[in-house]
Amino acid sequence: EAGVTQFPSHSVIEKGQTVTLRCDPISGHDNLYWYRRVMGKEIKFLLHFVKESKQDESGMPNNRFLAERTGGTYSTLKVQPAELEDSGVYFCASSQIGTSGGAYEQFFGPGTRLTVL
């Protein structure tokens, strides 16, 4: 079974540019989460999709960040325009719904390392 995949693995952009990160969850996982780790700090929750609907976006830093999940499959996270403080590793995770215990364990992708210069 394929795990959570993320693309690209690394992205280096200049301040003011736009970047789009992609996450493909494990097939059949309705829950999809985005997290971010800024260097040296904790991994922080950004938002949560259930299928194509945003369940919780309380962690999104500001309106420069836009997440979508077309058709309840893959998700994209766009940063526009990027700022220096957006640098970090962006993780995606997915989990099942409705299975005892299964809904609690999230499977993580490898992350996208974003550097804004």
Partner 1 sequence: AQSVSQHNHHVILSEAASLELGCNYSYGGTVNLFWYVQYPGQHLQLLLKYFSGDPLVKGIKGFEAEFIKSKFSFNLRKPSVQWSDTAEYFCAVNRNTGGFKTIFGAGTRLFVKA
Residues that bind partner 1 in the complex, under the rule CB under 8 A: 3, 31, 33, 35, 40-45, 48, 50, 55-56, 58-59, 91, 93, 95, 101, 103-111
**Residue number with CB closer to partner 1 (41 or 71):** 41
**Residue number with CB closer to partner 1 (18 or 55):** 55
**Residue number with CB closer to partner 1 (17 or 50):** 50
What does DSSP say about strands 10-13 and 112-116: parallel, antiparallel, or unpaired? parallel
What span, in angstroms and rounded, lies between the C-alpha atoms of 46 and 37? 10
> What are the beta bridge partners of residue 20?
78
For 33, the 3-state DSSP assignment is: strand
